[in-house]
Amino acid sequence: MQRKKAIICCLAVLTGLLIPLQQAAAYFAEDSFTAYWNKESVAKVSGRAVSPVYTVKPGDTLWSISRLFGVSLSELKTLNGIQDEDLIRVGQILRLPEMRTHRVSRGETLWSLSRRYGTSVGQLMVLNQITDPASLKAGQELIIAGNSKGVQPVTGQAQKMVFAWPLKGRITSQYGPRNGEFHHGLDIAGEMGELIRAGEKGVVITVGYLPFYGNTVIIDHGGGYKTLYGHISEFLVAKGDTVEKRQPIARVGSTGRSTGPHLHFEVRINDKTVNPIHYLDS
């Protein structure tokens, strides 16, 4: 009996030593939570340079693809010789800007890597054609998207823009890591049909349905600033309209990937998201 117990113990020890050599940690490892915005520095991507491609899927727009991979819309258009961003087709192969790679180490997860490089788990999965996050292996080489150096703050050469609150309500989800993804804006609670207002004067450049966002309005305010308003139930403006600060532009809804009526609000500088809370008036 004692000999049998000893054999079982030895097998357990050997199993514990051998298995981790091949497999990286599980998808949602428990570790300390640090908001991406508050990090003093973001890890730089090392490894070889690669030039990946992406096949357009149903529901894709050039804007949603540029956001997914952290590249500017203009760069994506130039790289693929696209004049009209509305003319991409399902199955079309798009070239992406040169990116770097990362070799997975023991204990790393898609979640920890998404935080390290300021990206999202979903982005890493799409770019590397990963269907099961738990299948990540130590030694595996991953492509890291173009926004991996993090969001750059506005320099002294550009004047910081201060936006009016688009909706008065409780913030239900902050900017930063959330449930294995990176939440790129603020979720503000509101009543169905409540008015949503423009954060600042600008030109409406997008009015329509976007994957995940549902019905969406995007306003270009100049100086590299854009704001996005998602999950809308009703549009009150059209593409090309010039709007004034605090002008009603839409109504609160729950379209797209949403669990109830609210506004998803983003601030983007040079097509990179920043924490809206730092750009809203007090």
The burial class, CB within 10 Å (0-12 / 13-18 / 19+), for 203 is middle
For the ranges 115-124, 197-206, 262-271, the lowest mean pLDDT is seen at 115-124
* pLDDT tops 90 at residue 14: no
Domains of the chain: 36-144 (3.10.350.10), 171-279 (2.70.70.10)
pTM: 0.51
* pLDDT tops 80 at residue 41: no
Strand duo 242-243 + 202-210: pairing: antiparallel
Mean pLDDT of 161-187: 88
Q: Which residue has the higher pLDDT, 197 or 124?
A: 197
Q: What is the pLDDT of residues 91-124, one digit of tens each?
A: 999 988 877 788 888 888 887 787 677 677 777 8
Distance from C-alpha of 151 to C-alpha of 31, rounded to nearest angstrom: 23
* pLDDT tops 60 at residue 164: yes
Residue labelled with tokens 């949503």: 196
Q: Mean pLDDT score of the chain, rounded to an integer?
A: 77
Please count the other Cβ atoms lying within 10 Å of the Cβ belonging to residue 85. Answer: 15
Distance from C-alpha of 158 to C-alpha of 272, rounded to nearest angstrom: 15
The answer to whether 65 and 76 are in contact (CB under 8 A) is yes
Distance from C-alpha of 24 to C-alpha of 44, rounded to nearest angstrom: 21
Element (H, E) at 18: helix 2-18
